[in-house]
Structure 1
Amino acid sequence: MAKKADGVEATDPFQKVMNRSVAPHGAFGFRKNDQDLRAAFNKGLLPFIGSGEHLALVAPFGFGKKGFLPTKTTAQICGA
């Protein structure tokens, strides 16, 4: 993606942080007291992920349906 978009930098790939797997799960961060905002964001995000519109937007960056969609919930990743 960094090669195809201005203003984007790539880091060296990594699979673990503090000896725990972090790949391939992306995330958005919210302040703890913004629970309503997080809930509204998730309500719109969940049906979007994997939709035709989503896949069309990420395809130019080399992402597709196979191997790039989330496979775990937030609770599973964070141990909540």
Structure 2
Amino acid sequence: MNPNNLTKEYTNDEVAIVWQSGKCIHSANCVKNNPEVFRPKEKPWIVAEASTSEKIISTVNKCPSGALTYYMNNKNQD
């Protein structure tokens, strides 16, 4: 596994955040837009439970590099 190109997922009940380290340009848009979730000085640095899914999606959509993506969890569907 290349430590410079990791993919990690962080999830709450509704949405999963996918972060790809190799694409990240460290613009800090995520931290500026949603500091409750994106905490670069902590581990884990993404805490998906700390915000609403709507705000998480809005923040992820502002990522200029595409390092952050998301998908909806379907575990509550029959």
TM-score of the pair, normalised by structure 1:
0.28
Structure number with higher strand proportion = 2
Higher normalized contact order (CA 8 Å, seq sep 6+, divided by chain length)? 2
Larger radius of gyration: 1
Structure number with higher helix proportion = 1
TM-score of the pair, normalised by structure 2:
0.28
